[in-house]
């Protein structure tokens, strides 16, 4: 069984690394005996080049701890692997996936919203609050996720807001939901771990009825990581055959 190398972005905020560590423990709980290592692109240790040297061909699969295919997935991780001379297979990013939506709804339920009630969902507008990206394809994927979430679950509306890059911001999205007739509103951070951007979202969400916390060690997220590990491992095995 190849090891799992989780590649996280990293943050100066110590809550980020603590959340990643808790997610690692959830992954290990779901698959006992799996070797799990973590490497960071920036701010936290160990950095990716320090960890890559531990694994030879076929000994590990890298899974980016990223929700979408933006700059880090398209450029930073491939460049770091090339620089280290690593040929480890790299799994796809985590999103989009129904498991991500399930994790988002878990966090909304924890914030007091009855997500299991179709009637409640039909009255509630949700802000999907993402980091934001300079990559138009990444932002388009976030908007597509929001549209799918609304259609598949019957929310009164799902509006995208961004904590960085271009707008709209959380207050704009909340206002749009209310103008469209939502009786209640909720803000759902489409982010993995606490830090600067989740704090910015929380500060902007004071008029929402419900504010969820970041995904963190949600069981659905750990399951999704293992799915990405297995998919990449099977692809690597086919290519090597």
The Cα 157–Cα 180 span in angstroms is: 8
pLDDT at position 227: 97
pLDDT digits (tens, 9 = 90+) for 74-99: 878 888 888 877 889 999 999 999 99
The rounded radius of gyration (Å) of the Cα atoms in the chain is 18
Which helix (H) or strand (E) segment holds residue 211: the answer is: strand 210-211
Q: What is the largest CA-CA distance in the chain?
A: 57
In the chain, residues under CATH classification 3.40.50.1400 are: 3-95+218-240, 98-211
Class of 98-211 per CATH?
alpha beta
Query: By the 8 A CB rule, do 91 and 228 touch?
Result: yes
Sheet with 210-211, strands from edge to edge, namely: 157-162, 124-130, 184-189, 210-211
pLDDT at position 71: 67
pLDDT at position 56: 86
The Cα 185–Cα 157 span in angstroms is: 9
Spatial neighbors of 23 by CB under 8 A, at least 6 apart, are 6, 65, 192, 216, 217, 221, 222, 225
pLDDT digits (tens, 9 = 90+) for 179-213: 999 999 999 999 999 999 999 999 999 999 999 99
Report the interhelical angle of 219-240 vs 98-110 (nearest 10°).
160
pLDDT at position 176: 98
**Does the pLDDT at position 236 exceed 90?**
no
Q: Which CATH architecture has domain 3-95+218-240?
A: 3-Layer(aba) Sandwich (3.40)
pTM tops 0.85: yes
């Amino acid at each position: 069984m190849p090891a799992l190398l989780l590649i996280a972005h990293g943050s100066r905020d110590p809550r980020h690394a603590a959340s990643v560590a808790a997610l690692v423990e959830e992954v290990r709980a779901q698959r006992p005996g799996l070797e799990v290592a973590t490497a960071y692109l920036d701010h936290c240790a160990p950095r990716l080049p320090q960890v890559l040297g531990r694994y030879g061909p076929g000994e590990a699969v890298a899974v980016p701890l990223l929700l979408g295919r933006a700059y880090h997935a398209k450029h930073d991780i491939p460049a770091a692997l090339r620089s280290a001379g690593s040929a480890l297979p790299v799994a796809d990013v985590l999103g989009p996936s129904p498991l991500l939506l399930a994790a988002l709804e878990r966090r909304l339920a924890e914030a007091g919203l009855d997500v299991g009630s179709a009637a409640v969902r039909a009255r509630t507008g949700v802000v999907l609050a993402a980091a934001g990206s300079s990559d138009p394809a990444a932002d388009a994927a976030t908007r597509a996720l929001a549209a799918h979430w609304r259609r598949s679950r019957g929310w009164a509306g799902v509006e995208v807001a961004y904590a960085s890059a271009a707008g709209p911001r959380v207050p704009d999205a909340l206002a749009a939901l209310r103008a469209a007739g939502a009786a209640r509103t909720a803000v759902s951070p489409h982010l993995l771990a606490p830090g600067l951007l989740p704090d910015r979202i929380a500060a902007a969400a004071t008029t929402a009825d419900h504010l969820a916390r970041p995904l963190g060690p949600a069981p659905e997220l750990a399951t999704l990581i293992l799915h990405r590990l297995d998919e990449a491992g099977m692809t690597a095995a086919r290519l090597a055959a």
